[in-house]
Structure 1
Amino acid sequence: MGRLLLIHSEKHDPWMNLALEEHLVRLLQADVVQAGSLCGILYLWQNQNTVVIGRNQNAWTECQTGLLESEGGQLARRTTGGGAVYHDLGNLNFSLIMPRRTFSLDDNFALITSAVNAQGIHAERSGRNDVLAEGRKFSGNAFGLLQDVGLHHGTLLIDSDYGRLARYLTVSASKLQAKGIASVKSRVINLRELKPEITVTGMAQAMEDSFCQRYAANNQIIRAVDADYQDDPQLHDLYHHFASWSWRYGQSIKFNARIDHRFVWGHLDIGLVIEEGLIRQAVIYSDALDSDFIEALAFQLEGCRFQSAALVAALSGTPAQDVSFG
C-alpha cells in the first residue's frame, strides 16, 4: 500500500510556505530514490498580502516593491518560472508534488477543474498554464521537474483584493497587448463573483476530494499541518534562503547593454556586461515558464562577441532564435 500526504499550512508567511514546499519536494525525492511508498503530496497554503515572482523575474520591474512593503506586504520568489502573482487570504494556493513516473499536467489540470466544477462553476484549461471561468483567469500555474519528482503549483482566486493586485503588480503594456486585454484587473475573476457562497475552506475541501478521488485507491491517506515539520533543521535553512535579500532581489549589476523582446512564449529582458567587445556577463529576466532554458541561455551568451551574427548563432536552435538584433 502506498501513502498520500495531505498537508495544510496554518501560517500565512510566504517564505515559510515556500520553504515547506521545497522541503516536501526534497522529501518525496528522497523517498523515490529509496524506493519508498510515498505516491504523492497535496499541499494547500495561503499567504497574506504577498507578491510572488517567478524564478527569473526582475523584482523591481514586476512589482511596486516600495509600495508593497510600506503597506506591510512581503515579496517572495518561487523556484519555478512564469510571471508575478498576488496572494492574500482570498486566494488559495496548491502544490501537487508527484513522482515523475506518474506526474501528468493533463491529470493535474483535470483535478483542478473537477474541484471547481464540483462547486458549480464550469472551469476550463487555457493554454499551458491558466484555468478560466467565463473566459477570465482564476488560476495561474507553474511547473518544475527534478530528476525524480514533478512539482505543479498554482493559485485559486476566490475573493482576492483586486485593488491591491492592480496596485502592486507592474504588467508591461506589451504583455497586455499580447493577451488582447486592457488591464490586469479585466483579465482575472474571483470565483465568488460567479458563486457567492464559495469559501476558501470549501475550495480546499474540494481540492482534497478531487485529489483523493484520483489517487486514493489502495493508498493510505496521511494528514499533516506545517507545525509537524517545524523541528526539521532543513526547513529552517530553507526559510532563511527564501527570506534572504539575495534570493528575492538578486544582485544589482551595472549593465552597459540591454536586449528587450517579447515572444509568444514569454518576455526576455537581457542585461549584458560588455568588455572589449565580448559578453562577460548575461543576466536574463523572464516570465517564461521554462526556467531551466532561461538559465542555460544566459550561460550560452557569455563569451560571445557582441555583434548580431554572433548573437544569432548563439541563439540558433533555441526558442529565442527569432529575436532581432538590428
Structure 2
Amino acid sequence: MGVDSIHNTAFIESNSYDPWLNLAVEEYLLNSFAGESIVLYLWQNENTVVIGRNQNAWEECRLDNLERDNGKLARRLSGGGAVFHDLGNLNFTFLLPKREYNLHRQLSVIVDAVKEIGIEAHFSGRNDILAEGRKFSGNAFYHGQYASYHHGTILIDVDTGKLSEYLNVSKAKIESKGVKSVVSRVVNLRELKPDLTIEKMKKAMYMGFIEEYGHIDNVLDFERLAELADVTKLFDKYSSKEWLLGRSPEFNFRISNRFPWGGIELLFTSRKGTVVDVAIYSDSMDVDFIEHLRQGLTGVDFSKPSILEALHNLPKCVERDDIIDWLHRTDLN
C-alpha cells in the first residue's frame, strides 16, 4: 500500500452513458473536489468518439459514419489521440491535488486491478497499458491550477470493428508504430479472461484504489452532481459545436510532421508578412506546450528566422527542440 500522507478520498460512479455529461462532471470534480481530495471516478460512454484537446475533428473522426449510427463526438480537456468508447469499455479518472499527482501510483491501481482478475499487465510508451504485448488501456493527463487528472480507457469487450468504422488513423502514425492497423494493436481483456465483466472490473478498480490509497472516505452521488448549475454550464460547453468542431481556420501556409511524442499540423495565416493567427492540431499529450506554441508564434514575422527565434524563446522541452530541428530543414516559401 502506498499511503504516505493523510488525505481525503472519494469514489463516484456515473449512471449516465452521455459523454458530454460525463466529461462535465469530470471537470466539475477537478474544479470543486480535487484541490483537496483524491477521487476515483468510473464512467462509460455509449457509441462515442472522444478526441484530444487539440485535435482536428474532421481529420480524426469519420463524422458522417458516426452521425449515421446516432453516435456522439466529444472533445476532452486532455491531450492525446482519438478513441472510440462503447459499453464494452470502462473509463476511469483519478482526480487529485497537484502535490499528490503520482503517475506510478495511479497506474499501479489499474495494473494491480487487472492482475487481481488474473491478467499480467504493464505500462508502455507514452500512455499505454499492455497485456500480452497489446494495448487495452490508453491514458491521458490534464493539469489545472491546483489539481490534476489522469484518465483513460479499459477495453473489456469493445466492438473493435467500430474503430476502423469511426476513426481515421494517419498512415504516418501507423508507420511510426510499426504495425499495420489500429485493430492489430489493441486487445479486449475478455479475450484473455472470458468471464470478465464490466462490473467485475469496476470492483477490482475500487479495491485497487483502496489498496493504494488506504481508504475511501466519501461516495459521491452522481445524480446530485449532475443537477448542479455548474455541471449544466459545463455540459453546455462540452455539447457545443464550437467546442466539438472549433473554427475552420483561413490559412495560407500549412506544414505538418510526426514525432515520437505525436503529430503536429501548423496552419499559418499571415498578412503583410506577419503571422496574425496560427491554428495548431496535435495529439501531443502536453496541452500546455501547444498553447504556449500558439501564443509564441502569433504576431511574429512570417519568416524562418523570426519563427525560429520565437521557438527558441519558449521553455526548453523535447517538443520545442524537435520542432526547431524540423523547421531548420523545412522550406517556408
Confirm or deny a common fold (TM above 0.5).
yes
Q: Is the 8 A contact 1:10 1:225 kept in 2?
A: no
1:2 CA drift (Å)? 4.6
Q: Is the 8 A contact 1:6 1:43 kept in 2?
A: yes
2:50 is matched with which residue: 41, 49, 52? Answer: 52
1:120 CA drift (Å)? 0.5
- Please name the residue that 2:309 is paired with: 313
- Please name the residue that 2:3 is paired with: none
- Please name the residue that 1:20 is paired with: 25
TM-score relative to the length of structure 2: 0.92
RMSD value, Cα = 1.3
- Please name the residue that 1:323 is paired with: 326
1:189 CA drift (Å)? 0.7
Q: Distance in 2 between matches of 1:133 and 1:53?
A: 24
Q: What number of residue pairs does the alignment pair up?
A: 317
| Percent identity for Structure 1 against Structure 2 | 45
- Please name the residue that 1:295 is paired with: 291
Q: Distance in 1 between matches of 2:7 and 2:108?
A: 22
1:132 is matched with which residue: 130, 133, 143? Answer: 130
1:105 CA drift (Å)? 0.4
The answer for unaligned runs of 5 or more in structure 2 is 1-5
SS of equivalent residue, structure 2 residue 153: strand
Q: Distance in 1 between matches of 2:241 and 2:307?
A: 32
- Please name the residue that 1:266 is paired with: 262
Q: Distance in 2 between matches of 1:14 and 1:225?
A: 18
Q: Is 1:254 the equivalent of 2:259?
A: no
1:62 CA drift (Å)? 0.4
Q: Distance in 2 between matches of 1:192 and 1:230?
A: 31
Q: Distance in 1 between matches of 2:221 and 2:184?
A: 35
1:102 CA drift (Å)? 1.4
Q: Distance in 1 between matches of 2:113 and 2:275?
A: 49
Residue identity matched to 2:118: G
- Please name the residue that 2:10 is paired with: 5
1:167 CA drift (Å)? 1.1
Alignment of 1:152-163 (within 5 A): 152-163=150-161
Alignment of 1:1-326 (within 5 A): 2-29=7-34, 32=36, 38=37, 40-217=38-215, 220-316=216-312, 317=316, 318-319=320-321, 320-324=323-327, 325-326=330-331
**Ranges of 4+ aligned residues in structure 1 off by more than 4 Å:** none
Residue identity matched to 2:66: L
Residue identity matched to 2:32: L
TM-score relative to the length of structure 1: 0.94
SS of equivalent residue, structure 2 residue 217: strand
SS of equivalent residue, structure 2 residue 138: strand
